[in-house]
Chain A
Amino acid sequence: GAVVSQHPSRVICKSGTSVKIECRSLDFQATTMFWYRQFPKQSLMLMATSNEGSKATYEQGVEKDKFLINHASLTLSTLTVTSAHPEDSSFYICSARPTFWSYNEQFFGPGTRLTVL
């Protein structure tokens, strides 16, 4: 149980295009999902907290107009990188917290490797 999927696993795009990454909780409902980015050999950097049916909460320094987050259902959150540039190349990972679990267990997806040319 507690499986989170991400799609796509890897994407290469040209500078200026937009890329959508999906995060799905496969066997549980998740009112809250989180989006992180990770640079090589570094820790996870929280980008935003996504709550079903409401606007995402972005961390300081994260451009909300560039990284659009939608959490339209209890099992799906999407991150759209708009007008991607090479500096947006990174490993993007989502996590989901089961709605009815008592503690703050969070389960991570396998990540999406974005390369912007």
Chain B
Amino acid sequence: QQQVKQSPQSLIVQKGGISIINCAYENTAFDYFPWYQQFPGKGPALLIAIRPDVSEKKEGRFTISFNKSAKQFSLHIMDSQPGDSATYFCAASMGTGNTPLVFGKGTRLSVIA
């Protein structure tokens, strides 16, 4: 199975709150899990990525949590700001090859003041 399932489809969060987006995958060969942020009319930008040898990775306000046994990973955005309003995509791939990323369907995040 190549699918990556992402939820929720859309999310509204108050300014200062925590945004949480979840993804689940099927293929146990996947070993690289990035998150991308995309603003309207722009290309996706790599936000943060994790490998399965760690359960959590934090960069600033962004944290990835990874649960290998459950085949799930999530993005947490702490202290969410209006400028974080964008579409977020999780993805997965087999890390060491020149293989395409398998993307989730995306989550549209709106952070309201």
Residues of A close to B42: CB separation below 8 A: 110-111
- Chain B 18-43 interface 0/1 with A at a Cβ cutoff of 8 Å (1 = within): 00000000000000101010000111
Cα–Cα, bound, A46→B51 (Å): 23
Chain A contact residues, majority secondary structure: strand
Q: Is the CB of A105 within 8 A of B46?
A: yes
Q: Is the CB of A104 within 8 A of B46?
A: no
**Which bracket fits the contact residues of B?**
20 to 34
Cβ 8 A contact of A103, one of B32, B41, B43, B104: B32
Q: How many A-B pairs with Cβ below 8 Å?
A: 60
Q: Is the CB of A102 within 8 A of B96?
A: yes
Q: Is the CB of B41 within 8 A of A111?
A: yes
Cα–Cα, bound, A31→B43 (Å): 20
Q: How far is the CB of A74 from chain B (nearest CB, A)?
A: 13
Pick from A4, A41, A106 the residue with the most CB of B within 10 Å. Answer: A106
Cα–Cα, bound, A34→B34 (Å): 16
Of the listed stretches B56-64, B68-76, B77-85, B87-95, name the one at the interface; the rest are far from the partner chain: B87-95
Residues of B close to A107: CB separation below 8 A: 46
Q: Is the CB of A106 within 8 A of B41?
A: no
- Chain A 21-32 interface 0/1 with B at a Cβ cutoff of 8 Å (1 = within): 000000000011
Considering only CB atoms and an 8 Å cut-off, how many residues of chain A contact the other chain? 27
A93 at the interface (CB under 8 A from B): yes
Q: How far is the CB of A50 from chain B (nearest CB, A)?
A: 10
Q: Is the CB of B32 within 8 A of A43?
A: no
A51 at the interface (CB under 8 A from B): yes
Q: Is the CB of A104 within 8 A of B43?
A: no
What are 17 A-B contacts defined by CB distance under 8 Å? A32-B98, A43-B103, A43-B104, A43-B106, A93-B43, A102-B96, A103-B51, A103-B95, A104-B94, A104-B98, A104-B99, A105-B34, A106-B46, A106-B101, A110-B42, A110-B43, A113-B41
What 10 additional pairs, Cβ within 8 angstroms, besides A93-B44, A103-B49, A104-B99?
Answer: A31-B98, A43-B105, A43-B106, A44-B103, A95-B101, A103-B32, A103-B96, A104-B98, A106-B46, A108-B45
- B residues apposed to A, CB below 8 Å: 32, 34, 36, 41-46, 49, 51, 89, 93-101, 103-106, 108
